[in-house]
A and B are shown apart, each in its own frame.
Chain A
């Protein structure tokens, strides 16, 4: 009888080892999962500020060009630039002038300026993207990590 009991309790060590290993593994994996999410979240804060500043750059570019009298049918299609790269594409339909502008890195902004004859006389809409620029896809990349921040003004 004594011998039989001893034999039955032998597996307890294995069970205990497996439980301890599983618990530590579960704790480790859960910490890693939480940290990974924190990591993505903190990257989002950084990427979002990059998008915001490129939107602000596009906005300031539009304000500067507005002061230079750029947004008229005759002056808009003349060569001009904001940043060393100049606008990537520009297009005007009636009194709506739009252009894409890239300054550095992968960020770019899509800017639309509307000129009107009554209040508000000018509407500026600038959308900044962090990862949208590369040599083949000008400001149209749709990466899952892309963030957009926009600035809008009427005056």
Chain B
């Protein structure tokens, strides 16, 4: 009887360590899986936003081009890529403010980072910082020429960071000088 009670006294240190190890593996594994899932969800969320921001800028550039073609005497790339606004490389730091009227305002240059800011009234994204909340997204565009003088390639790049990992959405489209 005495021997039986002694056996039931409790765990030995080795048993305890083994139990803790098993429990840690059993908990840490699923938690890692859940954490990775949440990271992927954040990435998915950001990627949707970034691809629509890229589309937003591309539509704006196309609209500026369309207005130029409709206006007699205007160069077809006026406000997009001209001698006074050179936008042929990513390092030229060109961006568009899609909240402006594309007919009056084309593109412009931005600081080295070109962050987008969310308007304080929530009405949209703007490259202008004043009083607006900075987001993690940066947006730039550049124009590259092709073998045809009436055709250029417009590229919009939206970049953002998740912690230290850089992500980007790149959108390219051809612009043609179709003037009747």
Measured CB to CB, the residues of A under 8 A from B are: 3, 6, 17, 20-21, 24-29, 31-36, 38-39, 41-43, 45-46, 49-50, 53, 56-57, 60-61, 63-64, 67, 81-84, 103-105
Contacts and interface: CB of A to CB of B under 8 A. Distances in A.
11 contacts: A25-B33, A27-B30, A31-B37, A38-B44, A42-B43, A49-B55, A57-B173, A64-B178, A67-B178, A83-B151, A104-B153
Given A24-B31, A28-B34, A104-B153, A83 B44 contact: no
Given A24-B27, A84-B147, A49 B171 contact: yes
User: Which of B26, B30, B169 has its CB near the most chain A CB atoms (within 10 A)?
Assistant: B30
Q: Classify the interface of chain A: helix, strand, loop or mixed.
A: helix
B178 A63 contact: yes
Contacts of A43: 47
Interface of B: 4, 8, 22-23, 26-27, 29-34, 36-41, 43-45, 47-48, 51-52, 54-55, 58, 146-148, 150-151, 153, 169, 171-178, 180
Contact of A6 (B8, B43, B150): B8
Contact of A45 (B22, B51, B58, B178): B51
Kindly list the 5 A-B residue pairs having the minimum CB-CB distance in the complex, ordered from nearest: A28-B30, A28-B33, A31-B37, A21-B26, A32-B37
A103 B174 contact: yes
